[in-house]
């Protein structure tokens, strides 16, 4: 009978206590694993979504850069508008390949009992601004034509040639193209020419933002500097800034989340230490007997430490497993509670992360078990077997 099996059988003797302790570890390691998995998925999702945009920077009204990041990534509604005159000024700059006004707005759809997200843009630049797009059909040429994102098309079973009617506006739009699944927020929009959107939302001269692509990316900072000097009251946000802004938000959230998880882990480790110490006091005579029949202090240390490590490792594995099984639920919860979550699966199972979390629970077992194990080695066999 190896030490490990002996330790395992000792744990089984107090199965309820062992299971309760294990649950504590499983919960805290599960939380840690979920936070780290989410963070990894979140960062990957943001990077992926930014990769899918073909623009180098956004021009927006002065305000919070996080709002801009939100706008870029999931079409937030910002109640400030730029004049489209700015577009002309941008287009006149050297090295600007294209500048497209964007108007993002919400449109009630009583027939479907929801709010549709409308994305007005210069659709002739669709290829340049959204290079990853694959459209089944064609790009609208008339002001009553639209492209529909795959999510909406799938939900409403829409196909090219169908008509969408908005009773409040008493207007119909013909679908000329269905956007194939991008895995990003683009799937949830209805795209129409910016002129149509401006007329529809009574902003004939307004744009939520202007997406700009430069001919030579190495000239990006020169272009943005020139633009800032020429047009006051605007804010320029490069995709790199958006990325770093979102990443720093994610990093702050990660620090907070991991800190809470570490506190939970500390509390559960104290629970493990307490449970093992209790078991040692209860088994003092047994430990005395083992010393008498030939166990060294190191043998006793090993037995107790292995019991603790078994407990925390099993807890760690259970935590990772439960967090993985519950990842869909966690993701659903996060999407409901967080202002922005990239599309696609953001709670990613990363085997390396799983191994690291289980490895951490092994280390935890060592740290939580070292003191009780040392304490057990100090039990005098004479005192113990005297009772």
Partner 1 sequence: MIDLKSVKKTYLRGAEEVRALKGIDLSIARGEFVAIMGPSGSGKTTMMHMIGCLDTPSSGEITIDGTAVSTLQEPQLVEMRKRKIGFVFQQFYLIPGLSVIDNIALPLLFSRDKKDKAHIQSLMELVGLKHAAKRKPNQLSGGEMQRVAIARALVNNPKLILADEPTGNLDSENSDLIYSLFSDLHRHGLTIIMVTHNTELASRAERMVRLKDGQVVSG
* Residues from 11 through 40 that contact partner 1 (CB under 8 A): 12-13
377 binds partner 1 (CB under 8 A): no
379 binds partner 1 (CB under 8 A): no
161 binds partner 1 (CB under 8 A): no
Q: Of the listed pieces 25-33, 168-176, 287-295, 319-327, which binds partner 1 according to CB under 8 A?
A: 287-295
112 binds partner 1 (CB under 8 A): no
According to CB under 8 A, which one of 3, 165, 266, 281 is a site residue for partner 1? 3
C-beta separation of 182 from 207 below 8 A: no
According to CB under 8 A, which one of 110, 294, 339, 351 is a site residue for partner 1? 294
Q: 60-66: long-range contacts at Cβ-Cβ below 8 A with a sequence spacing of 24 or more?
A: 60/208, 60/209, 60/210, 60/234, 60/235, 60/237, 61/233, 61/234, 61/235, 62/233, 62/234, 62/235, 63/235, 65/235, 65/237, 65/241, 65/242, 65/245, 66/245, 66/246, 66/249
100 bridge partner residues: 211
Distances (CA, A) of 365 to 126, 131, 181, 182: 56, 51, 46, 44
According to CB under 8 A, which one of 124, 244, 285, 324 is a site residue for partner 1? 285
In angstroms, rounded to a whole number, what is the distance separating the alpha carbons of residues 342 and 152? 17
357 binds partner 1 (CB under 8 A): no
Nearer to partner 1, 1 or 229 (CB): 1
322 binds partner 1 (CB under 8 A): no
According to CB under 8 A, which one of 44, 91, 195, 297 is a site residue for partner 1? 297
| DSSP 8-class letter at 217 | G
C-beta separation of 201 from 81 below 8 A: no
Closest distance to partner 1 from the beta carbon of 280 (Å)? 14
Closest distance to partner 1 from the beta carbon of 283 (Å)? 9
288 binds partner 1 (CB under 8 A): yes
291 binds partner 1 (CB under 8 A): yes
Q: 280-287: long-range contacts at Cβ-Cβ below 8 A with a sequence spacing of 24 or more?
A: 280/304, 280/372, 280/375, 280/376, 280/379, 283/10, 284/379, 284/384, 285/384, 285/385, 285/387, 287/376, 287/379, 287/381, 287/384
According to CB under 8 A, which one of 295, 304, 311, 346 is a site residue for partner 1? 295
Closest distance to partner 1 from the beta carbon of 298 (Å)? 9
According to CB under 8 A, which one of 6, 166, 360, 366 is a site residue for partner 1? 6
According to CB under 8 A, which one of 139, 258, 363, 385 is a site residue for partner 1? 385
352 binds partner 1 (CB under 8 A): no
According to CB under 8 A, which one of 174, 299, 324, 348 is a site residue for partner 1? 299
Q: 3-state class of 191 per DSSP?
A: strand
**Residue 315 CB: number of other CB atoms within 10 A?**
28
Closest distance to partner 1 from the beta carbon of 290 (Å)? 7
Question: At 131, which helix (H) or strand (E)?
Answer: none
N- to C-terminal Cα separation, the chain: 27
- Write out the residues near partner 1 by the rule CB under 8 A: 1-3, 6, 9-10, 12-13, 285-286, 288-297, 299, 381-382, 385-387
């Amino acid at each position: 009978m190896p030490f490990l099996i002996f330790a395992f059988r000792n744990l089984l003797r107090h199965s309820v206590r062992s299971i309760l302790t294990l649950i504590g570890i499983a919960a805290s390691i599960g939380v840690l694993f979920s936070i780290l998995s989410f963070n990894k998925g979140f960062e990957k999702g943001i990077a992926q979504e930014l990769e899918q945009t073909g623009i180098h920077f956004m021009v927006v009204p002065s305000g919070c850069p996080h709002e801009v990041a939100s706008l870029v990534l999931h079409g937030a509604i910002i109640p400030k508008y730029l004049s489209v005159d700015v577009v002309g000024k941008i287009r006149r700059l050297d090295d600007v390949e294209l500048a497209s006004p964007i108007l993002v707005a919400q449109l009630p759809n009583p027939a479907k009992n929801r709010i549709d997200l409308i994305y007005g843009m210069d659709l002739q630049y669709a290829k340049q601004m959204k290079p990853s797009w694959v459209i089944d059909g064609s790009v609208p040429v008339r002001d009553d034509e639209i492209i529909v994102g795959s999510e909406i098309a799938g939900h409403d079973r829409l196909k090219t040639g169908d008509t969408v009617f908005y009773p409040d506006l008493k207007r119909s739009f013909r679908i000329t193209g269905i956007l194939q699944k991008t895995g990003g927020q683009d799937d949830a929009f209805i795209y129409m020419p910016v002129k149509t959107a401006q007329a529809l939302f009574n902003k004939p001269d307004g744009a939520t933002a202007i997406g700009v692509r430069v001919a030579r990316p190495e000239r990006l900072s020169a272009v943005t500097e020139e633009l800032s000097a020429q047009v006051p009251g605007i804010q320029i946000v490069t995709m790199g800034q958006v990325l770093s802004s979102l990443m720093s938000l994610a990093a702050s959230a990660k620090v907070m989340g991991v800190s809470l998880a570490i506190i939970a882990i500390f509390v559960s480790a104290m629970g493990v230490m307490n449970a093992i110490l209790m078991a040692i006091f209860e088994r003092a005579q047994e430990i005395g007997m083992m010393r008498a029949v030939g166990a060294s202090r190191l043998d006793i240390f090993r037995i107790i430490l292995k019991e603790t490590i078994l407990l925390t490792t099993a807890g760690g594995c259970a935590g990772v497993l439960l967090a993985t099984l519950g990842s869909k639920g966690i993701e659903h919860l996060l999407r409901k509670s967080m202002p922005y979550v990239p599309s696609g699966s953001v709670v990613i199972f990363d085997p390396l992360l799983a191994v690291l979390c289980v490895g951490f629970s092994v280390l935890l077992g060592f740290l939580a078990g070292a003191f009780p194990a040392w304490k057990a080695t100090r039990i005098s066999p004479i005192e113990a077997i005297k009772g």
